[in-house]
Amino acid sequence: MSSMIHFVANHDDLSTDKGFQFKFYCDKCRNGHMSRFLPNKIGIAGELMRAAGSLFGGSFYDAGTAAYHVQRAIGGKAHDDALETAVQEGKTYFKQCTRCGHWVCPDVCWNHTAGLCEDCAPDEHEELAAQQRQAAREQIHTKTREHDYTQDLDFLGQAKVEQCPNCQARLQPGQKFCPECGTASATAAAAPKEKFCGDCGASVKPGQKFCAGCGAKQ
């Protein structure tokens, strides 16, 4: 009776009829390694015979078809051997945590002092730095919410964003002319024009018939 193959869960099977290849990755950071490609001689031979059969027909085609079925019949054994070899090779690049069973990369996700993965035994210095940043983030959030950023807003007025009627540039509240093209804003254009006396230059209100400064008729 053939022995059972010891395999790991953290792998993807990339094998095709051309050959066998497997990708192993860290259960924590998902980085990993790919096994060397191992050609499948039966699969390659069958592909060549099928190609010859499609060109010449007859016995070549029959031979290619037969080789294809042979490859399917014994491909399982070749695949098992390749998987077993790849698993043994892949184990050398990872460490298995005896607490959670995960396979992790030794350079980033393994706590060498504790002999466990960093999910089960985080590095003290890394954890302290992470918690400090988390606490700072929470304090910034709290202090930011304590400050009143709306004290200068007019909640009773109508909120609107004014644009230049000519170039559509955004205008700040109170701007009478566009800073981009100099066109008067819609608010300024709609405002009544201020008049002045032609004799003395005094301001004249709308509807005023005589100047209050010099008496000249307006």
| Segment 19-36, tens digit of pLDDT | 889 999 999 999 989 988
| Segment 67-115, tens digit of pLDDT | 554 444 345 788 888 888 888 888 889 999 999 999 999 999 999 999 9
Q: By three-state DSSP, how is residue 134 classified? A: helix
Per-residue tokens: 183: 């066109």
Per-residue tokens: 130: 């992470």
- E strand or H helix at 147, and its extent? none
- Name which of 6-10, 43-47, 108-112, 150-154 the model is least confident about: 43-47
Instruction: State the Cα–Cα distance between residues 199 and 163, nearest whole angstrom.
Output: 38
Q: Would strands 19-20 and 38-39 be described as parallel, antiparallel, or unpaired?
A: antiparallel
Q: Which residue has the tokens 């100047």?
A: 211
CB within 8 Å of 206: residues ≥ 6 apart: 192, 195
What is the Cα Rg of the chain in Å? 41
Distance linking the first and last C-alpha atoms of the chain? 119
DSSP state of 17: T
Instruction: State the Cα–Cα distance between residues 23 and 50, nearest whole angstrom.
Output: 29
Q: Which residue has the tokens 């940043």?
A: 133
The predicted model scores a pTM of 0.48
Q: Domain coordinates of the chain in residue numbers?
A: 11-94
Per-residue tokens: 175: 């701007």
* Cβ atoms 54, 72 nearer than 8 A: no
